[in-house]
Amino acid sequence: MKGLKMTIIKRILCLFILFFLAYAGYKHEIKVAQFERTYNTAQPLFKEVEKQNKDYHSLNILDKLQVRRLLLRQIKTLQKENWTDKVIKEAYLPTLTFLTADGRPDLRTYKEHFQDSQYIASPLFKKMWQKQVKLSSAQEAQNSLTFLTNYLHMPVELKGTNQETKRLLAKFDPNLSPTDDFWNQLALLVQTAYPDDSFAQTDPLANKIHQLRYVISAQQANWVRQHFRAPKDSDADALAKYLTKLSEQDYSLTESSRYHNKVAIEVDAQGKKVPKYSDNVQQSNFKVLVHFHSEFILSESGHFLNEIDIEKRSRNSIVNSASFNYANQNDGMHRRLDIDPISSHEPAFALLAMTDGNHFFIEPSKKQQKDKRNKIFARKGKSSKQLTKEAAQKFQQLIRSYQSALGIVLKENQK
């Protein structure tokens, strides 16, 4: 009797195990089918990998399954980001490394490779970007700009928060320098997209592209800090060190800084008009251009002035901010692309900073800029233009001092 009970129990357990295995198999099939449906659009591209990559064929079945699932996910993500299948096929997939030295799939490299594509202007991004961008018409150029702003997750209007700025800057390749040719390509794209006065008109894309100038300037200032600023250096020190690495033909300190020296006009207790500086500090700001497109505005005290920044900002930073130039030089295109759109595309927080009670921060006119007797824009018998020139000359001396120090180091290394 006891043996019969044990037999029954064993049979029940066997049936239970068989049922469990069958159920697990059923669930697995459902999961596999769901995965295949989800990544259906990615499968034709993966088949190209199967056809053309010999390394893939050398893998065992389990490694092949692992690689297939990983690449299908990556391809699907790239498709969602609106990379064309042609770009994925010709620029992304051929650059994959399939095997490690021991013949196993190099999954870590796959993931790093994909991550590289997520950084704007990374080597892989630029390779894909070259095939994605179209410049044959204004509409195609605007479509390419739409792709870029979507990739950056660029808001229609910047809020200026530290969190937002960090998120935006994190999308750029950490090694993207102000002299990288990517910036020339972007400028050409904007010039093609907006060949007339339409950039200043109300339009969500134009709004994003205009405000992108502030994001780029923040990225470039941050790049200089990360690569050239020592612990006790100012922003001016870091920029001066960077400029010693460039040819003097690569940068300019002589372009007008008129738009970056705004002052408000107040009336004092005696009824006289007096200047009000944005940070309540009497100082002049000056401009440094690299390849004309990349713009750095420095306060006389040595701080970068940026509308958005992951470091400390002041009203002076916002009111007199740097902004990337889409034009190639100071001409009619510069006015159309870099000056006129300000009136219609500035973010609300920047417009708010421009107002102090009933007073509005304004730049001097060309005549006021040269007037050393002007009660608002002149100081100590010197015109706004003279004061700005002196600040730039002082910065030029800082560059020279670092060039001299670099020369000493080179001589010591040669001994």
- pLDDT per residue of the chain (415 residues) written in tens, 0 to 9: 556 666 666 666 776 666 665 555 555 555 555 656 778 888 899 888 888 777 777 888 888 888 888 899 999 999 999 999 999 999 998 887 766 666 677 778 888 889 999 999 999 999 999 999 998 999 999 999 999 999 999 999 999 999 999 999 999 999 999 999 999 999 999 999 999 888 988 899 999 999 999 999 999 999 999 999 999 999 999 999 999 999 999 999 999 999 999 999 988 888 888 999 999 999 999 999 999 999 999 999 999 999 999 998 899 999 999 999 999 999 999 999 999 999 899 999 999 999 877 789 999 999 999 999 999 999 989 999 999 999 999 999 999 999 998 775 545 444 4
Of the candidates 213, 229, 240, the one whose C-alpha atom is nearest the C-alpha of residue 311 is 229
> Do residue 78 and residue 160 come from a single domain?
no
> Do residue 280 and residue 352 come from a single domain?
yes
> Do residue 252 and residue 399 come from a single domain?
yes
Q: How many domains does the chain have?
A: 2
Of the candidates 156, 138, 190, 162, the one whose C-alpha atom is nearest the C-alpha of residue 324 is 190
Residue 25: inside a domain, yes or no?
Answer: no
The helix (run of H) or strand (run of E) holding residue 360 is: strand 359-360
Give the bridge partners for 275, in sequence order.
Answer: 265
Q: How many CB atoms lie within 10 A of CB 321?
A: 25
Q: Tokens standing for 206?
A: 């134009």
> Do residue 365 and residue 384 come from a single domain?
yes
> Do residue 112 and residue 154 come from a single domain?
no
> Do residue 197 and residue 302 come from a single domain?
yes
Residue 327: inside a domain, yes or no?
Answer: yes
**pTM across the whole model:** 0.88
> Do residue 182 and residue 197 come from a single domain?
yes
Predicted pLDDT at 57: 77
Integer angstrom CA distances of residue 253 from 125, 243, 292, 302: 32, 11, 11, 15
3-state helix, strand, coil in the chain (%, to 5): 60, 10, 30
> Do residue 386 and residue 409 come from a single domain?
yes
> Do residue 332 and residue 375 come from a single domain?
yes
From the centroid of its chain, how far is CA 5?
Answer: 74
**Residue 296's domain spans which residues?**
137-414
- Specify the DSSP class assigned to residue 336: I
Query: What residues contact residue 64 under an 8 Å CB cut-off, 6+ apart?
Result: 56
What does residue 399 show for φ and ψ, rounded to 5 degrees? -60, -45
- The torsion of the CA quartet 402, 407, 410, 415, rounded to 10 degrees, works out to -140
> Do residue 294 and residue 355 come from a single domain?
yes
Integer angstrom CA distances of residue 26 from 12, 20, 33, 287: 21, 10, 11, 68
Predicted pLDDT at 222: 98
Report the C-alpha gap between 309 and 162 in whole angstroms: 7
Identify the residue whose tokens are 């030089």.
329
Burial (Cβ within 10 Å: 0-12, 13-18, ≥19) of residue 387: buried
Residue 242: inside a domain, yes or no?
Answer: yes
> Do residue 142 and residue 235 come from a single domain?
yes
Predicted pLDDT at 17: 65
Strands (E) in 248-308, as ranges, are 251-252, 264-267, 273-276, 285-290, 294-299
The answer to whether 397 touches 240, Cβ cutoff 8 Å, is: no
Predicted pLDDT at 412: 43
- Specify the DSSP class assigned to residue 337: I
Residue 10: inside a domain, yes or no?
Answer: no
Residue 148: inside a domain, yes or no?
Answer: yes
Predicted pLDDT at 333: 94
Residue 231: inside a domain, yes or no?
Answer: yes
Residue 56: inside a domain, yes or no?
Answer: no
Residue 377: inside a domain, yes or no?
Answer: yes
> Do residue 246 and residue 223 come from a single domain?
yes
